[in-house]
């Protein structure tokens, strides 16, 4: 697969007694998109949230197993979770810009991580918005509220915000499901650009989207990974009957 940015090894996630993710082991390429697909409730989002320890915030949630980024297991107690989330960004289903200007949305993270120089921040804002294909649309209104942007622009702003702190990995939980078709196409185009530079893991309900944007796909069912393969193979010649049934729309 080439260089690996992230590996889950024998990962299980429990909500109280309920085991939502069961012994999942997956490797993710350093540059490329992996799609996580499967019917509602099969554990995709729970697994995704484990990858940057967002499940720590859920009181009765317990995670076992290992998640390796380079030579570190991020589940170890010594992990600095703030530094970890700088390296692993997250984009949610609904765009969630801060109630601040476009500029401040982007500058917030780098400033929090110690960059105070205005010229440097200006550069980061421009670069991040450019990479998120949003610069042309926003360069004349940087100091206006981010909430005045359209939903699709807000989602690209959230992607720009996550890029601004120079992550290695970007996790996306159904990032286009709240968007109209034109905005969805723009976000998909953006994902296709970003995969040249980042490891992207995306949860999607939209099989066509998985086929369009990802090189690898993992099919989840009842908390387990049934099949993990190149997206082309998975969609044209799945090896497991459950995958074939799901992809052809027979359930889920
Ligand atoms: N905070 C929580 N507390 C308790 N149980 C939860 C919590 N979040 C999810 N679950 C349960 O864990 C299981 C997996 O849920 P999860 O949201 O990860 O699935 P999913 O595949 O992402 O579903 P969807 O596609 O509908 O978003 C489900 O049975 C769900 O009810």
Question: Quick check: ipTM above 0.95?
Answer: yes
- Cα of 42 vs centre of ligand 1, distance in Å, is 7
Tens digit of pLDDT for each residue in 174-223? 999 988 999 899 899 999 999 999 999 999 999 999 999 999 999 999 99
In tens, the pLDDT along 132-166 reads 989 999 999 999 999 999 999 999 999 999 999 99
| Order of strands across the sheet that contains 72-73 | 18-29, 4-15, 61-69, 72-73
Pocket test for ligand 1, best of 46, 47, 93 (most atoms within 8 A of CB): 46
Domain-wise residue ranges, the chain: 31-44+81-247
Domain 31-44+81-247 part of CATH 3.30.930.10: no
| CA pair distance 68, 76, nearest whole angstrom | 10
**Token pair recorded at residue 215:** 């090189």
Q: Could you tell me the distance, in angstroms and rounded to a whole number, from the CA of residue 148 to the centre of ligand 1?
A: 32
- Bridge-partner residues for 67, per DSSP? 8
pTM for the full predicted model: 0.94
Listed in order, strand segments (DSSP E) in 79-231 are 88-91, 169-173, 199-203, 216-221, 224-230
């Amino acid at each position: 697969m080439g260089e690996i940015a992230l590996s889950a090894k024998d990962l299980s996630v429990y909500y109280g007694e309920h085991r939502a993710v069961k012994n999942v082991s997956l490797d993710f390429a350093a540059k490329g998109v992996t799609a996580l697909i499967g019917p509602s409730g099969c554990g995709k989002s729970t697994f995704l949230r484990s990858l940057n320890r967002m499940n720590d915030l859920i009181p009765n949630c317990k995670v076992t197993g290992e998640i390796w980024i380079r030579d570190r297991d991020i589940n170890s107690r010594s992990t600095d979770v703030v530094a970890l989330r700088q390296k692993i960004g997250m984009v949610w289903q609904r765009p969630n810009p801060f109630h601040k200007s476009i500029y401040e949305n982007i500058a917030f993270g780098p400033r929090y991580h110690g960059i105070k120089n205005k010229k440097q921040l200006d550069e980061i804002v421009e670069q991040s918005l450019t990479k998120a294909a949003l610069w042309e649309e926003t360069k004349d209104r940087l100091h206006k509220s981010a909430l005045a942007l359209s939903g699709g622009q807000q989602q690209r702003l959230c992607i720009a915000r996550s890029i601004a702190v120079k992550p290695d990995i970007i996790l996306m939980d159904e990032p286009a499901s709240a968007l109209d078709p034109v905005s969805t196409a723009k976000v998909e185009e953006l994902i296709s650009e970003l995969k040249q530079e980042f490891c992207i893991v995306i949860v999607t309900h939209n099989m066509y989207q998985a086929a369009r944007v990802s090189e690898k796909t993992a099919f989840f069912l009842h908390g387990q990974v049934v099949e993990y393969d190149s997206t082309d193979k998975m969609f044209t010649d799945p090896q497991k009957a459950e995958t074939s049934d799901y992809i052809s729309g027979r359930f889920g």
